[in-house]
């Protein structure tokens, strides 16, 4: 199997303006069409969408107008040789989503969140795809006593069922993250996501998207999280990146903080033949704030290059020697083997 069989994807938010909570944007906005051109030139086939990336201003459009605009986007992508990967309802930026959407304490906001998610299904279908990514951004609390976790779990399940009911084709990949922007999220890990999916009306249509940094923020090993989802046939996308410890979600270049951890993620994907599943490898990475506009896609090129180098490293790993170490229960020798392999030219 050639390394080229991996399909790579990005979202427009991966070519950002460098704003952080303490400072304004430092680079000009990159027009959406230029994001698509950058994707083509960097060798990314897939485009990930928030619903309003695909259909700007969708809150002010009728359902049929939304479909019309999304169909035009579908044609634009096809003309450029690009493929849409998924649509994620962007609940976390709208005033109705201020206290979360599905788990808001305001019933009107909860209703809005479900309606907006159904429109995201319409957008996906009009783009010719069936995958909805659910990142439950503000579905949680910063004041523990402000929401009832039992009710919130049911509300999350209700939202999943409403999306599934919108179309028999719709599939949901839940992208859990334990914190940020909230202090404690209600669906913080892959285990929670898969458990909710299993309790849904159609468990076959609920899987997960694993972001490396989100697993690390939960104190978990991303490759083990991926293995858990792969064992269940539920790893429907990945957001590879890196994270330097327990702080805000850094979206660092894949492998930048923990190259061995990145190797392990590629290894588990390779061992499950993830590429053959047709699922995309996405990089949810951000350019550093210091980066100048003319080279503000370098983080994407580096992440993909590191991934492909690590595919080679996985394929050239001395598996037979490793197995001897395992059989002898000589894990110190295995440790040395892995480190020497990673250090070798
Ligand atoms: C947030 C995050 C999102 C999702 C898509 O941390 O990862 O960008 O990937 O909505
Ligand atoms: Mn992500």
Phi, psi for residue 100 in degrees, rounded to 5: 90, 165
CB 133 within 8 A of CB 282: no
Q: What's the confidence (pLDDT) of residue 4? A: 46
Distance (Å) from CA 135 to ligand 1 centroid: 6
Region 163-190: mean pLDDT is 98
What's the topology of domain 3-316? TIM Barrel (3.20.20)
Atom of ligand 1 nearest to the CA of 50: 10
Report DSSP state, residue 240: E
For residue 98, how many C-alpha atoms fall within 13 Å in the half-sphere facing its CB? 4
The one catalytic residue in 20, 33, 34, 50 is 50
How do beta strands 206-211 and 171-174 pair? Answer: parallel
Count H helices, E strands: the chain?
Answer: 12, 10
> Is any ligand 1 atom within 6 A of the Cβ of residue 209?
no
Query: Closest Cα to atom 2, ligand 1: which residue?
Result: 135
| Ligand 1 pocket check for 264: Cβ under 6 Å | no
> Is residue 57 annotated as part of the catalytic site, yes or no?
no
Output phi, psi for 130, to 5 deg: -125, 0
State yes or no: pLDDT of 343 exceeds 60: yes
Q: What is the pLDDT of residue 2?
A: 47
| Confidence at residue 83, expressed as pLDDT on a 0 to 100 scale | 98
* Pocket flag, ligand 1, residue 284 (CB < 6 Å): yes
| Ligand 1 binding pocket includes 175 (Cβ within 6 Å) | yes
Q: State the closest ligand 1 atom to the C-alpha of 13, by its place in the atom list counted from 1.
A: 8
Q: Which of 119, 137, 227 is CA-nearest to residue 177?
A: 137
Q: How far is the CA of 295 from the centre of ligand 1 (A)?
A: 23
Confidence (pLDDT) at 189: 98
Catalytic annotation present for 251: no
- Atom in ligand 1 nearest the alpha carbon of residue 209: 9
Determine the pLDDT at residue 127: 98
Average confidence (pLDDT) over 181-193: 98
Q: For 244-303, what is each residue's pLDDT tens digit?
A: 999 999 999 999 999 999 999 999 999 999 999 999 999 999 999 999 999 999 999 999
User: 239 in ligand 1 pocket by Cβ < 6 Å?
Assistant: yes
Place of tokens 């590879």: 240
Rounded (10°) angle between helices 259-271 and 331-343: 100
Q: What is the whole-number distance in angstroms between the Cα of residue 344 and the centre of ligand 1? A: 34
Ligand 1 center to residue 279 CA distance, Å?
A: 17
SS3 340: helix
- Residue 345 to residue 337: CA distance in whole angstroms: 14
pLDDT tier at 1, thresholds 50, 70, 90: very low
* Arithmetic mean of pLDDT, 201-227: 98
Q: Indicate if the pLDDT at residue 225 is higher than 50.
A: yes
Q: Is the CB of 249 under 6 A from ligand 1?
A: yes
Is it the case that residue 38 has pLDDT exceeding 70? yes
* Percent of all residues in the chain with a pLDDT value above 70, rounded to a whole number: 99
Q: What is the per-residue pLDDT across 156-165, written as a single tens digit (0 to 9) for each?
A: 999 999 999 9
Radius of gyration of the chain (CA): 20
- Catalytically annotated residue among 52, 53, 242, 284: 53
């Amino acid at each position: 199997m050639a390394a080229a069989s991996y399909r790579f994807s990005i979202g427009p938010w991966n070519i950002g303006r460098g704003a952080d909570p303490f400072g304004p944007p430092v680079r000009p906005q990159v027009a959406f069409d230029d994001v698509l051109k950058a994707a083509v030139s960097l060798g990314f086939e897939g485009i990930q969408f928030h619903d309003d990336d695909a259909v700007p201003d969708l809150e002010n459009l009728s359902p049929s107008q939304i479909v019309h605009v999304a169909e035009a986007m579908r044609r634009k992508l096809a003309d450029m040789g690009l493929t849409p990967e998924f649509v994620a309802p962007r609940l976390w930026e709208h005033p109705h989503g201020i206290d979360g959407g599905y788990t808001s304490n305001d019933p009107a906001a909860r209703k809005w969140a479900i309606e907006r998610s159904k429109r995201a299904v319409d957008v996906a279908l009009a783009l010719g795809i069936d995958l909805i990514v659910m990142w439950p951004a503000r579905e949680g609390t910063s004041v523990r006593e402000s929401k009832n976790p039992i009710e919130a779990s049911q509300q999350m399940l209700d939202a999943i069922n409403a999306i599934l009911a919108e179309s028999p084709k719709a599939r949901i990949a839940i992208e859990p993250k334990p914190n940020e922007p909230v202090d404690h999220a209600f669906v913080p890990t892959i285990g929670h996501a898969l458990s909710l999916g299993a309790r849904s009306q159609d468990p076959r249509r609920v899987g997960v998207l694993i972001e490396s940094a989100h697993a690390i923020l939960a104190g978990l090993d991303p490759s083990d999280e991926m293995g858990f989802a792969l064992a269940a046939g539920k790893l429907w996308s990945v957001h590879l990146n890196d994270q330097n410890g327990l702080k805000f979600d850094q979206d660092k270049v894949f492998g930048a903080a923990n190259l061995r951890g990145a190797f392990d993620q590629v290894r588990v994907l390779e061992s499950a033949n993830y590429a053959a599943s047709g699922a995309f490898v996405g990089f949810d990475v951000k350019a550093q704030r210091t980066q100048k506009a003319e080279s503000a896609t370098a983080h994407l090129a580096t992440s993909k290059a590191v991934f492909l180098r690590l595919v080679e490293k996985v394929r050239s790993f001395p598996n037979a020697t490793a197995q001897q170490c395992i059989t002898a229960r000589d894990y110190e020798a295995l440790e040395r083997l892995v480190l020497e392999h990673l250090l070798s030219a």
